[in-house]
């Protein structure tokens, strides 16, 4: 089975509870959404088809335990994704999956840490979230909201309260859109004032000048 990939590279994990860990990233091509703030638009068109074995051979060139499957949107190629996950697990990798929240995640094994976006209004894709996801999340999974303004913050706050996310036990991350001036300061003030108990998650790859090692 082949998967259309945009790139494979080695860098630091920029977000989630795994932040800072050296990680091999496998970026799938294509996405079903078109977020205004997307910084990986190049993945919609570029890419090459590789077999699962070829992908694993490239990944195993690097002595690194962590593998993050990202996109684009990996769940667009669900069958290939599931095969790849099984193959990576056999190789002993610690696997995380970044997904945009618009696809159901049934069938993704529990050993995969799912980092799931809830698209906020400023992305232009609010409302794309697949509610069924909430029934298929485990404590090791994470919900991520990128916040660009107060409307995004209020939307995110209401989402976690309305859907009783604290009962699921997963980690909730509010990430400031660092392209917006002072958003980091403003977001941290709002979270603390509301005593929301969510994680403040600045994206590491936006803070440092990232110099990934390209593998394809
Ligand atoms: S879901 Fe991700 S890859 Fe797709 S358009 Fe939005 S930011 Fe870009």
pLDDT of residue 207: 72
Residue nearest to atom 7 of ligand 1 (CA): 38
Report the atom number in ligand 1 closest to the C-alpha of 32.
4
Stretches where the chain sits below pLDDT 50 are none
pLDDT of residue 38: 95
pLDDT in tens, 188-199: 999 999 999 899
Query: How many angstroms is it from 9 CA to the middle of ligand 1?
Result: 18
Whether residue 152 has its Cβ less than 6 Å from ligand 1: no
pLDDT of residue 209: 66
- Read off the pTM: 0.95
Whether residue 82 has its Cβ less than 6 Å from ligand 1: no
Whether residue 172 has its Cβ less than 6 Å from ligand 1: no
Query: How many angstroms is it from 31 CA to the middle of ligand 1?
Result: 6
Compute CA distances 51 → 76, 87, 147, 208, whole Å. 16, 11, 37, 33
pLDDT in tens, 74-83: 999 999 999 9
Determine the Cα–Cα distance for residues 149 and 198; give it in Å rounded to an integer.
17
Whether residue 35 has its Cβ less than 6 Å from ligand 1: yes
pLDDT of residue 64: 97
pLDDT of residue 210: 63
Whether residue 34 has its Cβ less than 6 Å from ligand 1: yes
Whether residue 176 has its Cβ less than 6 Å from ligand 1: no
pLDDT of residue 168: 87
Q: Are strands 22-28 and 66-70 parallel, antiparallel or unpaired?
A: parallel
As a whole number of Å, the end-to-end CA separation of the chain is: 19
Report the atom number in ligand 1 closest to the C-alpha of 125.
6
E-assigned strand segments in the chain: 2-12, 22-28, 48-51, 66-70, 94-99, 113-117, 142-147, 171-176, 199-200, 213-214
Classified as helix, coil or strand, 203 is: coil
Whether residue 72 has its Cβ less than 6 Å from ligand 1: yes
């Amino acid at each position: 089975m082949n998967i259309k990939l945009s790139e494979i590279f080695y860098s630091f994990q920029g977000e989630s509870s795994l932040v800072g860990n050296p990680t091999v990233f496998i970026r799938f091509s294509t996405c079903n959404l078109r977020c205004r703030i997307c910084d990986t638009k190049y993945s919609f068109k570029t890419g090459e088809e590789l077999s699962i074995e070829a992908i694993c051979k490239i990944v195993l060139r690097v002595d690194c335990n962590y593998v993050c499957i990202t996109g684009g949107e990996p769940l667009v190629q669900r069958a290939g994704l599931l095969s790849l996950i099984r193959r990576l697990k056999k190789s002993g990798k610690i696997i995380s999956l970044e997904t945009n929240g618009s696809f159901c995640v049934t069938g993704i094994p529990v050993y995969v840490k799912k980092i799931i976006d809830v698209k906020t209004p400023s992305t232009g894709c609010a409302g794309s979230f697949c509610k069924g996801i909430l029934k298929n999340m485990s404590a090791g999974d994470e919900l991520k909201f990128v916040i660009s303004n107060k409307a995004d913050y209020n939307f995110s706050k209401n989402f976690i309260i309305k859907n009783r996310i604290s009962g699921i036990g997963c980690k909730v991350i509010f990430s400031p859109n660092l392209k917006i001036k002072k958003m980091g300061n403003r977001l941290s003030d709002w979270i603390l004032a509301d005593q929301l108990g969510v994680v403040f998650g600045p994206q590491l790859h936006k803070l440092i000048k990232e110099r990934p090692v390209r593998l394809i």
